[in-house]
Every structure is written in structure tokens, then in C-alpha cells.
Amino acid sequence: MRKIIFFVIMSFGLLFGACKKDDNRVCVPSDFLGTYTGSTVCANGGAANGTVIVSAGPTDSQLSIDLDGALFTVDIDGCNFSGTQRDTNVDLEYSGSLNGNKIEVTLRGLVFMNVIDCTSTGSK
């Protein structure tokens, strides 16, 4: 009798555990490609309509992004991407993600000693 009760309890645990929703989205580079329209909001209170254009990057694991005229290259990691740009007057970090037809891109850093902290969101 104990074995039957144990089996029933274990079966319920497996049944409900197997129904857990997977949050592991899988993206391929072509999923990102396109033009996204939306808005950009900056930590200093600035906000504007924005356009993000994503095209193929120099390698299969990279994307080229045009964020309202700011051009940069990022590395793809699943449905996320990131990159940096560092030279004499620029120290920026880019990051973002794709969720269906929605993209989010964040820029943080310094340009000519001015702090940049903006997030753009858009839809295809």
C-alpha cells in the first residue's frame, strides 16, 4: 500500500513539474533583422520617437544596429545582444533583447564627458 501511495505522489510531482513553462527563447540572427519604430527615453528626462534598424553584422554572430543615426556592432547571445565602443572620447556599452517583434536597446556610458543612459523600445 505504501508503494502505491508513494507512486501516486511521485506521479503528481512529475505531472505538475513537467508542465512548467519554459522561458528559454531561441533566436537566430535573421529574427532580429528589420526596422523597429518606438521611443527612446533617457535617464536625464529626455524622450523622443525613435527608429532602430537592425541589419546583418560582419560575422554570423553579430548584428549592425542603427539607433537614430548612431551606428554600432553587437554580439548575439540567444535573444540578447551586447557590445562596446571605446576610443579617445567615447566609452559606451550597448545591450538589448528581442522578444517576438519587440526590441529593446540600452546605451550607457560617456561621450565627450557627457553621461549617456538611454533605452529605446520598438516594434517591427
Which pLDDT score, from 0 to 100, does residue 5 have? 41
Q: Rounded to two decimals, what is the model's pTM?
A: 0.73
CATH topology for 24-123 is: Lipocalin (2.40.128)
pLDDT digits (tens, 9 = 90+) for 53-82: 999 999 999 999 998 888 889 999 999 999
Domain coordinates in residue numbering, the chain: 24-123
Q: Cell 576610443, residue?
A: 87
Q: What is the mean pLDDT of each run of 10 residues along the chain (124 residues)?
A: 42 44 71 94 83 92 88 93 87 92 91 85 94
User: Do 54 and 81 touch, CB atoms closer than 8 A?
Assistant: no
For a pLDDT cut of 90, what percent of the chain falls above it? 45
Number of Cβ within a 10 Å radius of residue 52: 25
Tell me the longest C-alpha to C-alpha distance in the chain.
Answer: 76
